[in-house]
Structure 1
Amino acid sequence: MSRHHPPSPPTRSDHVPRKRFGQHFLRDAAVIGRIVQAIAPQPGQRLVEIGPGEGALTLPLLRATGALTVIELDRDLIPRIAAGTAALGKVEIIHADVLTVDFTALAAGAPLRVVGNLPYNISSPILFHCIDHLDAIEDMHFMLQKEVVERMAAAPGSKAYGRLSVMLQLACRVEPLIEVPPAAFRPPPKVDSAVVRLRPRPRAERPLDVQATLERLVRAAFGQRRKTLANALEGIAGTGQIEAAGIDPRTRAEQVAVGAYVALARVIERDTDPG
């Protein structure tokens, strides 16, 4: 991971969005204003922006806080960011794939507020990466594909409810905020977008004691969502264990509440504990 502060902007006026980076640059001033208002940045806060792009959010956030860290993978955008922000405040530019960035080390004990218009092609891996560093994060505000936000906030029984719903809701309070049409971007994506706020739950509310078992359990359950839970979890949890957690083994994964998955993970761990 390298940090760059190049001195001069590129000569061309418009950066050509790159498909391989999933780039869609936000350009609607009204939408930008609403997002910044939702984030409500304050001086002295540790803000980190993932994928600043052309600076649509970077500039108003920097004006509000006076300092900002940005993570950008596209080398060609880095000089633009450095030049465009030079007069507004202190910007640390991290040239890296966000999935390689250690947010815990970056926070250095001061919780981060993480924001970003996430590349839709890798949004789920980024969300899970942030969960891995949740103790270093105060809150998150992300622009995502609207369908992904619906999955994040989905309740049991809905088609949108899945692994992402369970794992994120166990880690954070999920609050969809703003719907954003394709026309707000350059180039317009082929899908609607939405902004979501994630507030990490206190450690006492997160099932950290059974995290590994829970991840394996939920992945298996939703990996074969057409099957009954008893069949989908064959080799992981027996019918008796599923019943002991208060779940009907004949139900399917999308019908099981978040808390019930935690209960089942605890039953599995209890039964496998040699002590």
Structure 2
Amino acid sequence: MKHIPRKRFGQHFLADDGIIDAIVRAIAPQPGQAMVEIGPGLAAMTQPLVERLGRLTVIELDRDLAARLRSHPQLEVIESDVLKVDFTALAAQGLRRLRVVGNLPYNISTPILFHLLAHVDAVGDQHFMLQKEVVDRMVAQPSTADYGRLSVMLQWRYEMEDVLFVPPESFDPPPRVDSAVVRMVPRISPVALDAKRLEEIVQVAFSQRRKLLRHTLGRWLEDKRYPGDFDVQRRAEEVPVLEYLSLAQALS
């Protein structure tokens, strides 16, 4: 029976064979690699992946789709909300880092990215289909409109690249937005710092992004020791990632 996309799960199924082939080529799966696909849906990308890998673990919340996927002999199906999945434990089972891929539900894509950030040490790389606007924010550089909290937090731990544009007509049903595929590779030697402190700093800095930092972050820093050369006469979007990282280190 035909599966009816469920709005509450943010389901938009990839249906363009050319786009699917381009994504799989960008991922470049190799036999025997440990890979996890988030939200396999109707298995449009799942099948070409598992053909190259031999085995594939998939995470699917929709119980009807999960039941279909269990009939595939080469799939290990985890029926769960991805935000409850322990990727570090999954990697430990195979004693190797995971390659994580997926067409992420656009309504919870940012929470998924931050959930995976907490498990970054267990990940070899990530390839995700996301709303183009989100990808633009992820890879944005300072002094641009897209640069913000997501840019800083993810660029701290990942090298990222926008690898493929995907138009709405590539999906069934078509979303109302453009999409893109992003490649995320964990940095080999990330700056060591307190992640919660960095998130706190960035949250405060971008809370009123049109104001100078002396009106937002400056007041927050009054009772804390921080580098005297940190210029609060700038807006949050003008501060490079490395300066936020140095500030978080100093305050840790």
Structure 2 matches for 1:9-28, cutoff 5 A? 12=1, 14-28=2-16
Residue pair 2:35, 2:100 contacting (<8 A) in 1 also: yes
Alignment partners' CA distance in 2, 1:243 and 1:79: 56
Alignment partners' CA distance in 1, 2:161 and 2:220: 32
How far apart are 1:227 and its partner, in Å?
A: 1.7
After superposition, the C-alpha distances for 1:101-126 in whole angstroms (9 at most, x for unaligned) are 00000111310000000000000010
1:138 is aligned to 2:124: yes
Residue pair 1:242, 1:248 contacting (<8 A) in 2 also: no
How far apart are 1:212 and its partner, in Å?
A: 2.1
Q: State percent identity of aligned pairs.
A: 55
Amino acid at match of 2:45: L
Secondary structure of the 1:208 match is: coil
Alignment partners' CA distance in 2, 1:263 and 1:141: 28
Secondary structure of the 1:236 match is: helix
Alignment partners' CA distance in 2, 1:180 and 1:232: 38
Partner of residue 54 from structure 2, selected from 66, 70, 82: 66
- Larger deviation, residues 225-234 vs 103-112: 225-234
Residue pair 1:230, 1:242 contacting (<8 A) in 2 also: no
Partner of residue 237 from structure 2, selected from 232, 246, 254: 254
1:92 is aligned to 2:76: yes
Alignment partners' CA distance in 1, 2:241 and 2:168: 32
The residue number in structure 2 matching 1:3 is: none
1:220 is aligned to 2:195: no
After superposition, the C-alpha distances for 1:88-139 in whole angstroms (9 at most, x for unaligned) are xx21100000000000001113100000000000000100111100110000
Amino acid at match of 2:196: A
The residue number in structure 2 matching 1:264 is: 247
Secondary structure of the 2:194 match is: helix
The count of aligned residue pairs is 250
What is the RMSD of the two structures over their aligned residues, measured on CA atoms? 1.6
1:80 is aligned to 2:68: yes
Structure having the higher Rg:
1
Secondary structure of the 1:199 match is: strand
- Larger deviation, residues 230-239 vs 30-39: 230-239
How far apart are 1:230 and its partner, in Å?
A: 1.6
Alignment partners' CA distance in 2, 1:106 and 1:65: 17
After superposition, the C-alpha distances for 1:181-232 in whole angstroms (9 at most, x for unaligned) are 0000000000000000000012xx3233332211110111112212211221
- Structure 2, unmatched stretches of 5+, are none
Amino acid at match of 2:50: L
The residue number in structure 1 matching 2:214 is: 230
C-alpha distance 241-225 of structure 1, shift in aligned 2 (>3 A): farther
Secondary structure of the 2:50 match is: helix
- Structure 1, unmatched stretches of 5+, are 1-11, 270-275
Alignment partners' CA distance in 2, 1:149 and 1:225: 20
How far apart are 1:239 and its partner, in Å?
A: 10
The residue number in structure 1 matching 2:104 is: 118
The residue number in structure 2 matching 1:9 is: none
Q: Calculate the TM-score normalised by the size of structure 1.
A: 0.87
The residue number in structure 2 matching 1:199 is: 185
The residue number in structure 2 matching 1:103 is: 87
Residue pair 1:242, 1:249 contacting (<8 A) in 2 also: no
Amino acid at match of 2:134: V
Residue pair 2:5, 2:11 contacting (<8 A) in 1 also: yes
Secondary structure of the 2:25 match is: helix
Q: Calculate the TM-score normalised by the size of structure 2.
A: 0.95
Partner of residue 147 from structure 2, selected from 161, 165, 184: 161
Partner of residue 208 from structure 1, selected from 181, 184, 192: 192
